[in-house]
Amino acid sequence: MPSFDIVAKTEMAEVDNAVQNMVREIATRYDFKGSKCTIERTDEALTLNADDDLKLKQMHELLQGHMARRKIEAGVLDYKEPEKAAGQSVRQTVVIKQGVDKELAKKIVKDLKGTKLKVQASIQGDEVRVTGKARDDLQDAIAAVKAMKTELPLQFVNFRD
């Protein structure tokens, strides 16, 4: 029985490359001269440290630009609330989303059932497996999920006949 998986994965190596390029650009840009703006990556989160809110906004633009150059969509970045650090400085955590969360998985399954296609969708951890009798039905299911316009970029992997 043909099947495929719907996942949301981010290449962490590409994130590392984007962060390194951003660090290099911060070190050379004139408007960041003399500032203590830094970016650090821990497991699946980035920490932005900036001198003030204006520099933090500029760092957001830099981060999104460098992620886009590395073919990482901005939808995987989840900006938390900025918090005050010492003096005027600001710190913000940016979480890199991995996997399809439960609410989105339930929405995908519900919408696929609502399309009346002859496919079955099941939630397996942080991915959704879609099975059907015909390859054409699965291709129609992929088109239906792409038309849903989710904020999280989805990939369709592990297509088996």
The parent domain of residue 105 ranges over: 3-8+100-160
In the predicted model, is pLDDT for residue 41 greater than 80?
yes
In the predicted model, is pLDDT for residue 161 greater than 80?
no
Task: Compute the distance between CA of residue 86 and CA of residue 80 in angstroms, rounded to an integer.
Answer: 18
Please indicate, yes or no, whether residues 85 and 105 belong to a single structural domain of this protein.
no
Please indicate, yes or no, whether residues 68 and 109 belong to a single structural domain of this protein.
no
Please indicate, yes or no, whether residues 62 and 86 belong to a single structural domain of this protein.
yes
The CATH number linked to 50 is: 3.30.70.990
- Domain end (from 96, 113, 140): 96
The CATH number linked to 110 is: 3.30.70.860
pLDDT tens-digit map of 91-138:
999 999 888 888 888 888 888 888 888 888 888 888 889 998 888 888
Please indicate, yes or no, whether residues 142 and 111 belong to a single structural domain of this protein.
yes
Cα angle value 77/127/15 (rounded, 5°): 30
Residue from 137, 134, 102 nearest 116 by CA: 137
Query: If pLDDT is split at 50, 70 and 90, which confidence band does 33 have?
Result: confident
Task: Compute the distance between CA of residue 64 and CA of residue 77 in angstroms, rounded to an integer.
Answer: 9
- Domain end (from 96, 118, 142): 96
